[in-house]
Amino acid sequence: MHSSITAAYLTRYRSLASAAGTGPDAAPLLPLTGAQRRFLITRHRDRLARTDIVPLFFAFPRGTVDLARLRRAALRLARQHPALSGEFTVLRGTPVLRLGEPSVEVTRVPVDPSGPAAGALAVDGASGAGLPDGPARAALLRALLDWPTDGPALRLLLAAGPQDEEELLAVALDHAACDEQSLGLVTEGLGAAYADPDGGEDAPGTGRAEAVESYRAAVEGQLDAEARAASEAAQRHWAARLGVLADAPEATGPAGAARSTGMAVDRLPAVTGAARSGVFPALLDAVAAAAHRLDGGDRVLALGYPWGGRPADTEPVLGCFLNTLVHPAPPGPARPLDALGAEWWDDLDHADTPYDEVVRAARSAGASWSGALDGLLTFEDLHRRPPLVLGGTAGREVHLAGRPLAAPIAVSASHGEDLLVRLAWDRERYSDAAAEAAFAALLATLRHHLGTGA
């Protein structure tokens, strides 16, 4: 009989939660999803590991952002969402959320106008213009790279150089507290609280008890789905799909360890109508082309991508309800999109299977694979995320090279008025020339599948 990792976690969590109010620390404990637990366990095992963060960057006209007002808005938002009020921690080997005060930092980051430019390369192939660069960008990136492992869950960092006409605002969250849907809740919630004439911090909103119960119900619903998805049928599926995986032959340091990363960017026309269903499989094949160009070997690569969402009929709460799925990418030319799409849909039937269960299934089939990813793909539909509006001014979203990476390469695609594609790479592992050649292969594969010469 297959033993579920999720069921074992729930047993340990309930034992801790039942005793939480009887000891010297009476703070209530809340459960975590499989994705949240993986983030915490990684940090707990390796104290040198960086916190996985999700940053957004916005440019505002200089003088737009009132930090005191923004701080009040952030505190109000945090009080409405348990994921931003307390501490993600590991107690007796069990990851939990311990409720407490708002876990928020709002500050202006000092900018040294003569400081170095953070050692990152950014190339925008679409416009020929560089991505935002300079001392302000470097200061923000250094602050994010130095994120403390014990929080906070939300950081709002503002920076501007002495001569800059715009100021850059980083809205960054601990990945344990957010996923794609959470980002929309954050931008919308911050804007609404910032616009509140009462200042936001003490304005009425969702009660604490109601917010806690909404979060608990959403997480328990997700855990129930994960427990059901850890079935023997799912084990057989992932064993068949991933049994050929193997780690890279040479260890090159922990993922995300690079202090220097590059980014290449291009824009393709938006895909409309029925063709939209082929965008994600096309992206998977395009990332495979780039990863194989850089890897240079003949092994099947493990490409990860987040997928999923909150259980049906749950309140919109902050948290990480996504699961990381794994796509096995063999070497070779571009594959037929129909075949790719069929495999992808089959994988989505088992999308709730926790990542650790997927790795276990692969290893049971003979894979010499630790679960390390060779590349990561994220996809966002920008029509589903409200803009960040502060004081009536909408921030212009910008993309900064130099962000920490969770894999040797990371591809981000944003679908809105166009299809914005970004490739980030570890410059300690790959040369800029090799990465730019890989990006060219990615774009060629994508255009091949989507039928555009743009």
Task: Please tell me the predicted confidence (pLDDT) of residue 257.
Answer: 46
pLDDT value at 349 more than 50: yes
DSSP state, 392? Answer: T
CA–CA distance, 445 with 454 (Å, rounded to integer)? 12
Task: Please tell me the predicted confidence (pLDDT) of residue 163.
Answer: 87
Nearest to 394 by CA among 173, 117, 195: 195
User: Per-residue pLDDT tens for 290-309?
Assistant: 999 999 989 999 999 998 77
Task: Please tell me the predicted confidence (pLDDT) of residue 255.
Answer: 43
CA atoms within a 13 Å half-sphere pointing along the CA-CB vector of 11: 7
CA angle 311, 316, 319 (to 5 degrees): 80
User: Per-residue pLDDT tens for 56-79?
Assistant: 999 999 999 999 999 999 999 999
pLDDT value at 381 more than 90: no
Return the number of other C-beta atoms located less than 10 Å from residue 247's C-beta: 15
Categorize the per-residue pLDDT at 108 as very low, low, confident or very high, splitting at 50, 70 and 90: very high
Percent of the chain with pLDDT strictly greater than 90: 57
| Residues in CB range of 283: below 8 A, 6 or more apart | 377, 379, 411, 413, 446
Nearest to 438 by CA among 263, 307, 304: 263
Task: Please tell me the predicted confidence (pLDDT) of residue 428.
Answer: 87
C-alpha torsion angle, residues 194, 195, 198, 201 (rounded to 10): -20
Percent of the chain with pLDDT strictly greater than 70: 87
Categorize the per-residue pLDDT at 220 as very low, low, confident or very high, splitting at 50, 70 and 90: very high
- E-strand ranges in 309-353 read 322-329
C-beta of residue 141 within 8 angstroms of C-beta of residue 31: no
pLDDT value at 360 more than 90: yes
DSSP state, 44? Answer: H
pLDDT value at 454 more than 60: no
Peptide bond into 152 cis (omega under 30): yes
Categorize the per-residue pLDDT at 130 as very low, low, confident or very high, splitting at 50, 70 and 90: very low
Nearest to 404 by CA among 180, 169, 175: 175
CA–CA distance, 100 with 151 (Å, rounded to integer)? 12
More confident of the two residues 406 and 426: 426
User: Per-residue pLDDT tens for 24-56?
Assistant: 555 789 999 999 998 888 887 766 567 788 899
CA angle 174, 202, 213 (to 5 degrees): 55
Task: Please tell me the predicted confidence (pLDDT) of residue 345.
Answer: 94
pLDDT value at 327 more than 60: yes
Range in 67-71, 133-137, 299-303, 354-358 with the lowest mean pLDDT? 133-137
Q: What is the pTM of this model?
A: 0.86
pLDDT value at 322 more than 70: yes
Query: What is the mean predicted confidence (pLDDT) over 134-151?
Result: 84
Instruction: Bin 134: left if φ > 0, else alpha if -120 < ψ < 50, else beta.
Output: left
C-alpha torsion angle, residues 168, 401, 151, 50 (rounded to 10): -170
C-alpha torsion angle, residues 38, 222, 87, 46 (rounded to 10): 0
Categorize the per-residue pLDDT at 95 as very low, low, confident or very high, splitting at 50, 70 and 90: very high
CA–CA distance, 58 with 187 (Å, rounded to integer)? 11
CA atoms within a 13 Å half-sphere pointing along the CA-CB vector of 373: 24
Categorize the per-residue pLDDT at 170 as very low, low, confident or very high, splitting at 50, 70 and 90: very high
Categorize the per-residue pLDDT at 268 as very low, low, confident or very high, splitting at 50, 70 and 90: very high
